[in-house]
Structure 1
Amino acid sequence: MSNTPRFQQIKTYIQKKIDAKEWPVGSRIPTEAELCELFSVSRMTVNKAVRDLVNQGRLERTPRLGTFVCQSKAESPLMDIRNIADEIQERGHKHHSEVVLQKQIIAPDDVSMRLGMMLGSEVFKTEIVHYEDDNAIQVEVRWVNPDCARQYLEQDFNHITPHQYLMEACPLSTIEHTVEAILPPDNIARLLNITPKTPCLLLHRRTWSGQQLISSALLYHPGDRYKLSARMNVLD
């Protein structure tokens, strides 16, 4: 007999059904009473298994209708900066990217100010769509100070990410994050394969190496596929 707690066995059973697409997104799972009968356990045990999966974003409870499989959301840490390719691979999925733009431009005034550069300065700009399996989960629009990363435009960003290159060329020491909920511009909606009425999370990111501002980026995420999280220790 398995030593795994019964609630964990129920969670595993439900997760396997979801992962195998036997219970696709939007489908209703068996009721708690049916799961109690199937596993010969108490309602409390089933409730804990289901509640854990709701908290993990795998299931969603709808009053008077039942519990449904929901779209699993990718997740990134808000208080840290990590390579999106590594995050996706650690979730057991495949990352690939599509470069939309990679060129040197005259920085718009707002970009010059965000990078602490003189108005009219030249900067490197990239626009890249990041995919988790076949789903677009992030559009990365980034401006880079050429004095800090002179070979930025020479990189093949279909095979490495800007994060990987910048961490090697000018190791990051400080990050600044601001998050807002938006309706995406039409061009971003097309790249994410969503409608302009689909809510998005927009992460504004600036990075420093030592005292030097390196890059400013806008990271667009479809709100129904992505979430940002933070965890910190609070000392008394």
Structure 2
Amino acid sequence: MTIPKFAQIKQFIVNNIRSGAWLENQRVASENELAEQFSVSRMTARRALSELTEAGILTRSQGLGTFVASFKSQSSLLEIKNIADEVKARNGNYSCTVLVLESISAVAPIAIALGVEVDSVVYRSVLVHNENEQPLQVEERFVNPALATSYLQQDFTALTPHEYLSSVAPLTEARHTVEAIMPNSEMCQWLNLYHEEPCLQVIRRTWSSSGIVSFARLVSPGSKYRLGGHLTFKK
């Protein structure tokens, strides 16, 4: 299947950002430069830049050019909100699809993230949060069983992991990183994307007073991104 030229340009730009070749706030190639490089019209190049700008991956300044957006900006003003409440605040209809709810042996990266021993048992969930029956966000979460013993027994169509964990292990701290990614075929299926498009991935670790509670990966279509930050909650 031939990839449209504008999609090739988008992929080229995203790859340069992901690899670090183009840094945050750096000026990217102009419409004319991209049109010449890919042998396309300026309209095709403009479409690629416009779609990435709409997705929050690029930012455009009249008379100055197009720049890489600050995806990894850190903001202490960031709030951890319950996604169900966010949807309802927009007068949307929230629902959740549970794809995976299981216990697994922690491989090294997960064990390190949760502060547990390698190969120890941890809980894993994969959920799709929906707004008006359309996928809004995929949440893959690993949970420390010692701090949320009944995690696997919860009905996450009735309450979110955030709500449950906040009740059994109240948050005292959270750390986030945010980056642009291109979703794989499985993620495209979960998000009901007809073709690959830039998505924003949030990696989040949360603590309670007793230790690390969870390690989560949240993936949303690129038009729905959030800044990252380090929060300390008031007791």
- Paired letter, 1:99: V
CA shift at 1:187, angstroms? 1.2
Contiguous gaps of at least 5 residues in structure 1: 1-54, 58-62, 64-76, 232-236
- Paired letter, 2:83: I
Give the 4+ runs in structure 1 shifted more than 3 A.
none
Aligned to 1:227: 225
SS at the partner of 1:189?
helix
1:143 and 1:91 map into 2 onto residues whose CA distance is 29
Structure 1 pair 186/230, CA: closer, same or farther in 2 (3 Å)?
A: closer
Structure 1 pair 190/126, CA: closer, same or farther in 2 (3 Å)?
A: same
CA shift at 1:227, angstroms? 2.6
What are the Cα deviations for residues 155-198 of structure 1, in whole angstroms up to 9, with x where unaligned? 00011100010010110110101001000122111100114621
Aligned residues of 1:78 and 1:177 also touching (Cα < 8 A): no
1:78 and 1:183 map into 2 onto residues whose CA distance is 27
Aligned to 2:148: 149
SS at the partner of 2:92?
coil
Aligned to 1:122: 121
Structure 1 pair 78/122, CA: closer, same or farther in 2 (3 Å)?
A: farther
Structure 1 pair 159/228, CA: closer, same or farther in 2 (3 Å)?
A: same
CA shift at 1:230, angstroms? 7.6
1:170 and 1:132 map into 2 onto residues whose CA distance is 27
CA shift at 1:205, angstroms? 0.4
1:1-236 alignment, distance < 5 Å: 79-195=78-194, 197-224=196-223, 226-229=224-227
CA shift at 1:134, angstroms? 2.1
- Paired letter, 1:228: R
**Higher RCO, Cα 8 Å, sep 6+:** 2
Q: TM-score, normalised by structure 2?
A: 0.63
Aligned residues of 1:183 and 1:196 also touching (Cα < 8 A): no
Q: TM-score, normalised by structure 1?
A: 0.63
2:93 and 2:177 map into 1 onto residues whose CA distance is 27
Aligned residues of 2:205 and 2:215 also touching (Cα < 8 A): yes
- Paired letter, 2:80: I
SS at the partner of 1:165?
helix
The total of aligned residue pairs comes to: 158
What are the Cα deviations for residues 175-227 of structure 1, in whole angstroms up to 9, with x where unaligned? 10100100012211110011462100000000000150000000000113x13
SS at the partner of 1:204?
strand
- Paired letter, 2:84: A
What are the Cα deviations for residues 105-135 of structure 1, in whole angstroms up to 9, with x where unaligned? 1112211111111111110000000001122
What are the Cα deviations for residues 30-89 of structure 1, in whole angstroms up to 9, with x where unaligned? xxxxxxxxxxxxxxxxxxxxxxxxx9x9xxxxx9xxxxxxxxxxxxx9722111000110
CA RMSD of aligned residues (A): 2.4
Structure 1 pair 103/230, CA: closer, same or farther in 2 (3 Å)?
A: closer
Aligned residues of 1:142 and 1:217 also touching (Cα < 8 A): yes
Structure with the greater alpha carbon radius of gyration: 1
Structure 1 pair 189/90, CA: closer, same or farther in 2 (3 Å)?
A: same
CA shift at 1:142, angstroms? 0.2
Identity of aligned residues (%): 39
1:102 and 1:81 map into 2 onto residues whose CA distance is 23
SS at the partner of 1:172?
coil
